[in-house]
């Protein structure tokens, strides 16, 4: 019966091109480009793009090439669980099916509008569930603080443009929300539109440790989240495939269901 | 009518979970991990992964982090058209829908088995079409030489482990095939399981120039292509999003149709 339904469904989808051209997916870009404005953690090496050649060679053809250098954790990037949890997955160990799949968005932008230290709380998750139903299993959970409106203004986005980490102010995920999620729900990946899963004033990085201990990786500095609905979309997170990486640059994009 | 068919198709797909659990996509990894064995062009900077911290902090929690450095063109990577074509797309300018979509595989492994200088010819494309039908529009075209069986043995994969580029020997795409493709077919992205779109003995990089002039980007050192059929799959190429990049590290994966 299941096979029959699948066959009918795919057959119907394949009819669509005959009826007016193929469905053209509209991908939503959720990454920031890497350049001299890309925001890194105050203690990290920023992105360097070094030209090795640009112009016409002696043989008469055009050629351009560059080298790159950066810390793993800047711009739109992956935190592998190993970043804060000994023995858990490094970047290359995360199965692709934990990085791709149905996703939801929890919007706490009304709380962050007046308070850069606002955090996602358990009560915000409960409020989302009251409206949209229980958070599904194997879901990618994105937290929308609307902090992307400050990108790439480092002072506004991080709270400081100095190296003084005590001055960091931006929203994050409170440990009562991360604890509740790992105990009562089954998410496979968490993302946020700020520089860190934990808020700027965190000293002990509780939510990093709570998620990563359970092999739930993180996405930070996710872009353009305003374009996403509360549910009904698929996220594709494609990190640089670094052996023993604690994370790395990550291309992230999404597709709305039934688009 | 078209809307009705789409609605019926998606409705049927949504029934599937009720009938025995959701369809779980099986992603095929088409990238090599970045590490000290990753193969770069003889003149390029190889991948460097520099530990900045690994262990327990004074505050008692585990933490690991690294810096990365490399040339854009090594390992599984994107060539942006601008790499060999002045004024054409840089890495950040390529629309996502030119990097993701239905794909085909042209297998020339029987030619390369005895000859490392073998190339994809127009006749190979015509032979593929005779068997599988015309190469569809807006397709991603992968060339399978089976050269991945040599990875990461640099001497076997490149033909040399020295910096002498005259000694490079590996298969590629002949200019009569690239010219025919841009003139008579409509491909959006080309990929190969060797270090270069042009074969190792190329001096003028004709196929690079022919494809990139038409804003058709390239994927090089694509992994695990033996797992793909001749047609009936979707490729996702997710390059690092580098402003003005001539290319860069790229995570590539695939999904078989109706899997």
Which residues sit opposite B226 in a β-bridge?
none
Contact yes or no for A27 and B67 at CB 8 A:
no
Instruction: Flag if B71 and A73 touch (Cβ within 8 Å).
Output: no
Interface contact B238-A249, CB threshold 8 A: no
Tell me if B216 sits within 8 A of B177, measured CB to CB.
no
B235 CA to chain A: closest CA distance, Å? Answer: 13
> How close is the nearest chain A Cα to the Cα of B156, in Å?
22
Give the lowest-confidence range in A156-165, B21-30, B32-41: B21-30
Only one residue has tokens 């790499």, namely: B83
Interchain contact, A240 vs B29, CB within 8 Å: no
User: Cβ contacts (< 8 Å) between A6 and chain B: which residues?
Assistant: 12-13, 16, 23, 258
Q: Are strands A172-173 and B100-107 parallel, antiparallel or unpaired?
A: unpaired
Q: Could you count the other beta carbons within 10 Å of the beta carbon of residue A166?
A: 11
- In the Cβ-directed half-sphere of A28, how many Cα atoms lie within 13 Å? 17
> Do residue B240 and residue A243 have CB atoms under 8 angstroms apart?
no
pLDDT of residue B258: 80
* pTM > 0.90: yes or no: yes
Look up residue B194 and give its two tokens: 């060797």
- DSSP assignment of A130-183 equals HHH-SPPTTEEEEEE--GGGGTT-HHHHHS-SSS-GGG----EE-HHHHHHHHH
Distance CA B220, CA A250 (A): 19
Percent of chain A exceeding pLDDT 70 equals: 91
Average pLDDT rounded to a whole number, residues B59-66 = 97
What is the rounded average pLDDT of the residues A35-63?
96
Q: With contacts defined as CB-CB under 8 Å, which chain B residues touch A233?
A: none
Buried b (16+ CB within 10 A) or exposed e, A121-130: bbebbeebee
DSSP state of B245: -
Interchain contact, A9 vs B10, CB within 8 Å: yes
Confidence at residue B11, expressed as pLDDT on a 0 to 100 scale = 44
How large is the average pLDDT for residues A53-57? 96
Per-residue pLDDT tens digits for B168-207? 999 999 999 999 999 999 999 999 999 999 999 999 999 9
- Name the residue facing B204 among A32, A44, A59 (closest C-beta): A59
Q: Which two tokens stand for residue A61?
A: 């053809």
CB burial readout A48-58, b (16+ within 10 A) else e: ebeebeeeeee
Nearest chain A Cα distance for residue B126, angstroms: 25
In tens, the pLDDT along B72-103 reads: 999 999 999 999 999 999 999 999 999 999 99
Interface test with A, best of B18, B54, B65 (most A CBs within 10 A): B65
pLDDT digits (tens, 9 = 90+) for A124-167: 999 999 999 999 999 999 999 999 999 999 999 999 999 999 99
Contact between A219 and B232 (Cβ < 8 Å): no
């Amino acid at each position: 019966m299941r096979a029959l339904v699948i066959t009918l469904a795919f057959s119907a989808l394949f009819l669509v091109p005959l009826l007016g051209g193929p469905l053209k997916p509209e991908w939503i870009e959720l990454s920031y480009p890497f350049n001299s404005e890309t925001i890194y953690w105050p203690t990290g090496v920023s992105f360097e793009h070094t030209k090795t050649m640009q112009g016409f060679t002696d043989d008469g053809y055009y050629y351009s090439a560059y080298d790159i250098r950066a810390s793993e954790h800047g711009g739109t990037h992956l935190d592998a669980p190993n970043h804060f949890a000994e023995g858990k997955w490094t970047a290359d160990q995360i199965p692709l099916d934990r990085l791709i799949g149905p996703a939801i968005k929890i919007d706490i932008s009304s709380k962050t509008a007046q308070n850069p230290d606002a955090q996602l709380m358990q009560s915000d998750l409960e409020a989302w569930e009251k409206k949209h139903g229980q958070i599904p299993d194997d879901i990618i959970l994105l937290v929308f603080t609307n902090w992307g409106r400050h990108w790439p203004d480092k002072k506004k986005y991080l709270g400081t443009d100095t190296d003084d980490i005590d001055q960091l102010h931006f929203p994050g995920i409170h440990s009562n929300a991360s604890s509740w999620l790992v105990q009562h729900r089954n998410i496979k990946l968490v993302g946020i539109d700020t520089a860190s899963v934990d808020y700027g004033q965190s000293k002990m990085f509780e939510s990093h440790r709570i998620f990563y201990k359970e092999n739930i990786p993180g996405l930070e500095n996710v872009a353009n989240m305003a374009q996403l609905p509360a549910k009904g979309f698929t996220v594709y997170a494609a990190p640089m495939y670094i052996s023993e990486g604690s994370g790395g640059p990550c291309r992230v994009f999404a597709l709305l269901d039934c688009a």
